[in-house]
Structure 1
Amino acid sequence: MDYKEKYESWLKDPALCEEGKAELSSIAGDEKAIEYRFGAQLEFGTAGMRGIIGYGTNMMNVYTVRRATQGLAEYVRSLGEAACRRGVAISFDTRRKSDEFAKAAAGVLAANGVRVWLYNDVHPVPMLSYAVRKLGAVAGIMITASHNPKEYNGYKVYGEDGAQMSPDATADVVKFISAIGDCFAVKEERNALIRRVPASVDKSYYKNLTKLSLSRRAVRKVGKDLKLVYTPVHGSGYVPVTTILKKLKINVSVVEEQVAKDPDFSTVEVPNPEFKETLSKGIALADKIHADAVFGTDPDSDRLGVAVKNEKGEFVALSGNQVGILLLDYILTRLKEEGKLPENGAVVKSFVTTGMAKAICDDFGVELLDVPVGFKFIGEKIKEFEADGSHTFLFGFEESCGYLRGTDGSRDKDAVVASMLFAELCCYYTYKQQTVYQHLMDIYAKYQYVLDRNVSIKFDGLNAMKEMNAVVDSLKSKSVEKFDIYNVVAVRDYSSAVRRLADGTEEKMDIPTSNAVYYELENGSFICVRPSGTEPKLKIYYSVKAKDEESAEKALERMRGAFEKMLK
């Protein structure tokens, strides 16, 4: 059946809701729109699925959600009766149709005899992750499109350890989904198997977070008088972030006009707090009340964005790498000062995250481990450490504003604990009569300046992923010795897990495969290219080590020019 026939079959199906019929009828004759909606099946990958909200096989709607959930239900049933009794925990954020999709997922699971633990109001990713373990559930579902524009929604799946579902388990779920031909045949049922997540789970989550506090003395001294600004950007972070800061007695002013659960995110262009524009209302409030730092969370509160005052008193938005560096240095510093830094301590980051992390970890005698992009791989390392006792997990982070401290709370990136730690970090350096920005500059002075810059190239249409992968694949056969002033030391092909040195020798890498090419440059700089797993963007990562910011900017310009010339 081609896309036109699929379109007609959906329109004629009596199970299609009135909203769906009206929407699909409105695109009659629009060949491009019909092909986009029905020319593919919305892909369920290792990050679940994510797409534009609308009707069609390639869109996020109640029918594609039911189909995905039926596949998950059959996977749970394949694990046995005990797994069905343990059930699946479900949460959702403030996006359009998030609650509807969550209830649909619950209904499908219940119709298949699988117990459901459903939140009755929005709860962020980290609290869902925690609930999976606390309730002993066999899996979890989070309805969210994270930081994507308002037109999107998505469906994340979690394993019993609270981390995003492993690639092997996901592959099994996909097999079940693929066998479902008619999404209209999937039924929901409301029955006693659907239960509310007990309020005690929230209380337990907050209690565990307070155990991760590192600077109680500094908080007691300056926390009540500190001037911080927080914005939830209309997302699910408002209640948990303000709750944990209140528990620690850290003063924070909230951007009131961004508290509302607004699915249109009407006060921002995109609900991504890593952009300074998204934090602009927070910065305006901070200027008004003379606050020193602004932080914000995305709709599902798994990402944290931060802006701080520089030496001129102007707010600058910190990159995800810079926030990660500050948190890493703070955590290791405080653990060492308190005599609590374990000998087998480990930090885990994605391989595209700043190279500065190694210098910091080496200085503290902590092992640093690189994993592929995707926080599930950090979760896999935590599970591995717990199984073999080889390391004590201290901190995990990604350049895309994702951070996790400790193992008592979430097993995914957690902007609630990251907000708590950053607010506490502000208390600590204020107590030491130093600004956060000054300390960041001290870190650069100590370990040498590293400039990390990301560039995204947007692709459109049904073949976006195929075209992005083709660009990355084309680089694998190109021989390159240098990018302007930087010699290439080695090239990592993550699709084959092979590292090729400049002299032609090859080494196997013990790491899960992904489609990325990584150029190791002299002095620890690097360039990496990979397609995004969550949106149609080709991502290029530049990391430049130099004596200072000015030198790094000049070096980046030359390096980037040379690389883009090769890319063309």
Structure 2
Amino acid sequence: MNAISFGTDGWRATLDVFTTPRVRMVGQAVATTLQEAGHDAPVGICYDARETSRGFAEELARVLAANGFDVLLPDRDRPTPLLAWAIRERGLSGGLMVTASHNPSEYNGVKFIPDDGAPALPEVTDAIESNLAEPDPLPEGEWGTVEEADFMDPHAEHALDLVADYAGDDGEIDLDGLPVAYDAMCGSGRGVTDDLLSRAGAVVDRHRCERRPEFGGTPPEPSAETLEALTETVRNGDPRLGIANDGDSDRLALVTPKRGYLDENLFFAALYDFLLEADSGPAVRTVSTTFLIDRVAEAHGEEVVETQVGFKWVAEAMAESDALMGGEESGGFSVRNHVREKDGVLMALLAAAAEAEEPLDDRVDRLLDEHGEIHQSKVSVECPESEKERVLADLDGALPDSVAGAAVANVVTEDGFKIVLDSGAWLLVRPSGTEPVLRVYAEAESESRVRELLDAGRDLVEPLV
């Protein structure tokens, strides 16, 4: 039981720790938590493309059913956002997703999604952890059923309708032969994201769209390094846009002819600008996400809400502010009138729609011409978990009046310390939630200035560790 830590992104571990008995304990904890909250509607369970995921999903289904819940399972591995939408669209009690997302194949994991389809907040995950126990089945006559359900078509139909509101003609979206290259990274987006793009009219060149439980030896994490072949295809071939999803397709990455791998910050700004052509509303971003979002918002008379790192906080703020779009610099985004959960499948369709209207390279160029160049990077400083709180407390008493020759204009304490300079550049120091390190982020008008700020940030933090 002590090996299970059920945070917002669920519990992830290597397969020597992520075992069937422990997975069954998680299933019992979720059943108990739902019962205590008065839920009795069915529960959805989906899983990613890993070798062990279907078996773990079936174990969870058996435990939930033995606690009296009807359970819906898909016909094959399916992306996390399809489960999130099904929870909202079908009025489910919640859902369990068996996935280790972008982690290597020797990992697996499970996350719980509540009945609103948004990430679980701490009070929910704390309740699940407190209810961890061996399965406690009801008498067999009171068991629920386990049935196969279609998770794909309802999500696709909703996505097509939603995107048509922004880019459609007569209520329908038509990408009209737009050439797109799609890389599933052998994950659960295969046959889902590419199918959705095809249904909207795109001509899709498919890459790594076969199931490989070991992901071809490369963790399903879209990055400039793992998408070199996709970048080569887009830069030297017909596709106007390259799209990739991570292992469970809640995030996406883009490749363009001019920029190659498109920085997620720039994509966020470009898509928000695109959405504002047809709608209005604030944006929600994390403290580690670019100020370019703020500049786009200001140009349209909109506001920006800043949150801690973690999509659960983005989702909460989206509800409170009726935001048009929310996102984070790691590639997770959602929009109004959808579930407040990262959705790399829907965002792929929105990205293609934006590209069809105006090439993303051109839109990004225009935004940078209007609002100024923006560059961002980050480094890590090793710090034991036991020392993080002390180091941050010491940093609070050692914050400088200037950084790398620029005066400090403001310090934001939403998540760690974000030191905003009078030039508009910033430096952020915050604890990693998953590794024994402190993250140091910087954003400025040039790559050389970012490096200077990162060096200054490292020099500020390392003596305190």
TM-score, scaled relative to structure 1: 0.75
Counterpart position of 2:31: 73
Deviations 1:400-455 (A, max 9, x none): 001112323x32111111110111122111xxxxx432331221110111212122
Q: Which residue pairs with 1:16 in the alignment? A: none
Residues 1:50 and 2:50 are matched in the alignment: no
Matches of residues 140-179 of structure 1 in structure 2 within 5 Å? 140-177=95-132
Distance in 2 between the 1:458 and 1:290 partners? Answer: 44
Match of 1:358 in 2: 294
Corresponding residue number in structure 1 for 2:270:
326
8 A contact 2:161–2:171 mirrored in 1: no
Q: 1:531 to 1:479 in 2, by over 3 A?
A: closer
8 A Cα contact 1:124 1:300, kept in partner: yes
Residue identity over aligned pairs, in percent, reads 26
Distance 1:145 1:474, change over 3 A: farther
Q: Higher mean Cα deviation, 351-360 or 145-154?
A: 145-154
Q: Aligned match of 1:265 in 215, 221, 226? A: 215
Say which SS state the counterpart of residue 131 (structure 2) adopts. helix
Q: How many Å separate the matches in 2 of 1:427 and 1:132?
A: 31
Alignment match, 1:426 = 355
- Equivalence for 1:196: 147
Q: Label 1:562 to 1:536 Cα distance change in 2 as closer, same or farther (>3 A).
A: closer
> Which of 227, 232, 240 matches 1:292?
240
- Residue 397 of structure 2 corresponds to 477
Report the AA paired with residue 193 of structure 2. Answer: V
Q: Deviations over 1:91-140 (max 9, x none)?
A: 11112411122111111112222232222311111111011112211221
Residues 44 and 437 from structure 1, CA distance in 2 versus in 1: closer, same or farther, beyond 3 angstroms? same
- Cα distance in 2 for partners of 1:347, 1:559 equals 26
TM-aligned CA distance change 1:70 to 1:250, over 3 Å? same
Query: Is 2:367 aligned against 1:443?
Result: yes
- Are 1:128 and 2:83 matched, yes or no? yes
Greater shift, 139-148 or 287-296, is seen at: 287-296
What does residue 302 of structure 1 align with?
250
Structure 1 residue 471 displacement after superposition: 4.2
Q: Where do 5+ consecutive residues of structure 1 fail to align?
A: 1-37, 336-340, 386-390, 430-434, 495-513, 547-551
Deviations 1:312-342 (A, max 9, x none): xxx5211211111111111113x1xxxxx34
Counting only pairs closer than 5 Å after superposition, residues 78-97 of structure 1 correspond to structure 2 as 78-80=36-38, 83=39, 85-97=40-52
Match of 2:413 among 486, 493, 503: 493
String of CA shifts for 1:327-379, please: whole Å, max 9, x gaps.
1111113x1xxxxx34xx22211121111101101111122111222212222
| Equivalent-residue separation in structure 2 for 1:480 and 1:94 (angstroms) | 48
Q: Mark the CA change 1:267 to 1:557 in structure 2 (over 3 Å): closer, same or farther.
A: same
SS of 1:86's equivalent in the other structure is coil
- Taking the aligned partners of 1:534 and 1:197, their CA distance within structure 2 comes to 34
Corresponding position: 1:227 with 2:227: no
Matches within 5 A, 1:525-564: 525-535=425-435, 537-544=437-444, 546=445, 552-564=446-458
What code does the residue aligned with 2:28 have? Q
Aligned pair count reads 459
Distance 1:226 1:135, change over 3 A: closer
What amino acid does structure 1 have at the position aligned with 2:225? E
Give the deviation of 1:234 after TM superposition: 0.6
CA distance in 2, matches of 1:457, 1:362: 34
Q: Is the 8 A contact 2:382 2:438 kept in 1?
A: yes
Structure 1, residues 226-271: CA drift from partner, whole Å, max 9, x if none? Answer: 322111101111222122212211112111xx11221211153x31
For structure 2, list consecutive stretches of 5 or more residues without a partner in the other structure.
Answer: none
> Which structure features the higher share of helix residues?
1
- Would the alpha carbon gap of residues 262 and 468 (structure 1) be closer, same or farther in structure 2, given more than 3 Å must change? farther
Residues 114, 234 of structure 1: CA spacing in aligned structure 2 closer, same or farther, 3 A cutoff?
A: same
Distance 2:215 2:176 in 1: 31
* Partner Cα separation in structure 1 for residue 58 and residue 140 of structure 2: 9
Q: How far apart are residue 215 of structure 1 and its match? A: 2.5
Q: Which amino acid aligns with 1:93?
A: D
Is the contact between residue 118 and residue 195 of structure 1 (CA under 8 Å) also seen in structure 2?
A: yes
Separation in structure 1 between the aligned mates of residue 21 and residue 387 of structure 2, nearest angstrom: 28
1:487 Cα deviation from its structure 2 partner: 1.9
TM-score, scaled relative to structure 2: 0.90
Spell out, residue by residue over 1:519-558, the C-alpha distance to the aligned partner (whole angstroms, 9 max, x if none). 22223322222233345554322111x3xxxxx1222222
8 A contact 1:219–1:250 mirrored in 2: no
What residue in structure 2 maps to residue 19 of structure 1?
none
Equivalent residue, structure 2, for 1:373: 309
Q: How far did residue 149 of structure 1 move?
A: 2.4
> Equivalences for 1:384-463 in 2 at 5 Å?
384=320, 391=322, 393-408=323-338, 410-429=339-358, 435-457=359-381
Q: Tell me, in whole angstroms, the C-alpha distance in 2 between the residues paired with 1:146 and 1:208.
A: 24
Checking the alignment, whether the CA contact within 8 Å between 2:73 and 2:149 is kept in structure 1 is no
CA distance in 1, matches of 2:152, 2:61: 20
Q: Is the 8 A contact 2:326 2:335 kept in 1?
A: yes
The CA distance in 2 between the partners of 1:536 and 1:196, in whole Å, is 42
Report the CA distance shift for 1:151/1:102 in structure 2 as closer, same or farther (over 3 A): same
Distance 1:243 1:446 in 2: 36
The Cα offsets for residues 374-410 of structure 1, whole Å up to 9 and x where unpaired, read as 212222234435xxxxx3x3111110001112323x3
Change (3 A) 1:533 1:64: farther
**Structure 2 CA distance for partners of 1:529 and 1:466, relative to 1, 3 Å:** same
2:260: which partner in 1? 316
Larger radius of gyration: 1
Paired letter, 2:24? R
